[in-house]
Chain A
Amino acid sequence: MWNYLHKMASPPHFYRLAKILIPWLVLPGALLIAYGAYAGLFVAPPDYQQGDAFRIIYVHVPSAYLSMMAYMIMAISAGIGLIWRIKLAHAVAAGAAPVGASFTILALITGAVWGRPMWGTWWEWGDPRLTSELILLFLYFGYMALRNAIDDTAKADKASAVLAMVGAINVPIIHFSVQWWSSLHQGPTLIRQGGPAIDNEMLYPLLAMIVGFTLVFAALLLRRVRAEVLYRERRTNWVRELILSPRGDG
């Protein structure tokens, strides 16, 4: 097991394996998203209170879930890199940040667009769910800005890892905010006592979207990490051999 993990953490092994994995993640991910989008837009019945506006759930919930999952991947990887000094872990953290930030922006915008017809406002500053999600975006921006501000990669890894780990406290706050405090935002729909709060006709497309988004996110993350690994390993023999090989990276 340890040998397997050690091999997986080897940059050249990861670089080659990631390239093989990407299409196997994208294809089922795209199919699930296509099914989820079709069924969510055209098959699921309108909500009895929100009408067709509820269909925004099919992009809002997966993007909000990914915004938090990407942050946890970033924080855990940064922690592993800091404690066990595994270079690949820092590359994963650095790769997760821009993708996670983009899904956080998506969650915030789709939430605001959904809020306008339902709540009568795009944004409510006093709302704990909205505000904590916005703080998540600032944490991503802070992490990326800190990395860019430090030229020495090792120092940038350490400083940004501390920020990523401290900021992880915000993720459970986002998740539980609708239970801990009074919020405009509705309570949990899927992960709640007594099971999901929506009918199966609405639920299955949502689950397909969540799994599909996750698979495509994983592929995007692998692409980002491959570039990060290549940059970090640019002076190593395996990269030199890769460049000089007749096939190159193809």
Chain B
Amino acid sequence: MGGLAMDGYGAYVWSCFALTLAVFVFNEWRARVRHRSVYKQIEVRVKALEGRQ
């Protein structure tokens, strides 16, 4: 059992796991933001075109 201190390596080990979690969260967030942004752009254009017809 390593414990939180990890025999003096805690800062190295925990920072790596925290960074990994951050990378997953960042990727999920970026993908969602990109999808939402593209969807909104198309929605505005399509609805404007529909309104004109």
Contacting A243 at CB < 8 Å: which of B8, B9, B30, B43? B43
Does more than half of chain A's interface fall in helix, strand or loop, or is it mixed? helix
10 sampled A-B residue pairs with Cβ under 8 A: A52-B7, A55-B9, A59-B17, A106-B23, A109-B16, A227-B35, A231-B38, A243-B39, A243-B46, A243-B47
Judge if A132 is at the interface, Cβ distance under 8 Å: no
Q: Is A147 among interface residues, defined by CB-CB distance under 8 A?
A: no
Measured between C-beta atoms, what is the minimum distance from B53 to chain A in Å?
Answer: 12
Q: Which residue of chain B has the shortest Cβ distance to A230 in the bound complex?
A: B38
Q: Does A77 contact B (CB under 8 A)?
A: no
**In the complex, chain B residues whose CB is within 8 Å of the CB of A43:** 1
Query: For the complex, what is the distance from the CA of A114 to the CA of B19, rounded to whole Å?
Result: 13
Interface residues of B (CB under 8 A from A): 1-2, 6-10, 12-13, 15-17, 19-20, 23-24, 26-28, 30-32, 34-35, 38-39, 41-43, 45-47, 50
A106 & B19 in contact (Cβ 8 Å cutoff): yes
- Residues in chain A near residue B2, CB distance under 8 A: 41-42, 46, 52, 55
Q: B17 touches which one: A41, A224, A226 (CB < 8 A)?
A: A41
Other CB < 8 Å A-B pairs besides A37-B17, A46-B7, A102-B27, 17 of them?
Answer: A41-B17, A55-B2, A55-B9, A60-B16, A63-B23, A103-B23, A105-B23, A113-B12, A113-B15, A113-B16, A114-B12, A114-B16, A223-B35, A227-B34, A234-B41, A234-B42, A243-B47
